[in-house]
Amino acid sequence: MAGECIFCKIAAGEVPAEKIYEDDSLIAFLDISPISPGHTLIIPKRHYSRLDECPEEVIGDLASKLGLIAGAVAQAGDYAGYNIFCNTGRAAGQVVDHVHFHIVGRHPGDKVFDRWPSGRYEEGRMEEMAGKIRKTLSGP
Ligand code: AMP
Ligand code: ZN
């Protein structure tokens, strides 16, 4: 619920945060429990729980600033790279139900994340999945 949402409260200025960027539609601030120094969260000011519930223009506003903010995080922390990710749903580790992107600066060999396990499709399964996704994207 938006009324109890910690990120809505940060966006409204009711809860303090270390803000690094703000405009009409979004705000970026430092994660309180950083994976690496400068770990940043970028959120829309309006409350949406999931990325797939956000209007396209809201995602567009967020996406348009990712490069700018990630570049600044990388420069400030002298990082060689960064990860950007959006946990969506409990299964994916989402804890705060207000859509947000993480920006995490990376140094070579920092072992912050291990490479994820990669699988293989059984015969025909890749085409089947692609067909299902295409069908969903093409609408009802
Ligand atoms: P997740 O929902 O798992 O993608 O991550 C939520 C993130 O929000 C976590 O990394 C928390 O450390 C961070 N977080 C939660 N409360 C605050 C807060 N008040 N200020 C800054 N970051 C927060
Ligand atoms: Zn919210």
**Band of the pLDDT at 2, cuts 50, 70, 90?**
low
Pocket test of ligand 1: the residue of 31, 36, 39, 100 to mutate, having most ligand atoms within 8 Å of its CB, is: 31
Task: Report the pLDDT value the prediction gives residue 3, as an integer from 0 to 100.
Answer: 76
- Predicted model pTM: 0.95
User: Is ligand 1 within 6 A of the CB of residue 93?
Assistant: yes
Q: Give the CA-trace dihedral at 49, 60, 73, 41, to 10 degrees.
A: -10
User: How do residues 50-107 score in pLDDT, each as one tens digit?
Assistant: 999 999 999 999 999 999 999 999 999 999 999 999 999 999 999 999 999 999 999 9
Tell me which residue has its CA closest to atom 15 in ligand 1: 32
Residue range 113-124: average pLDDT?
A: 92
Closest CA to 97 of 110, 105, 106, 88: 88
Ligand 1 atom closest to Cα of residue 33: 12
- List the beta bridge partners of residue 30: 40
Higher pLDDT, 64 or 116: 64
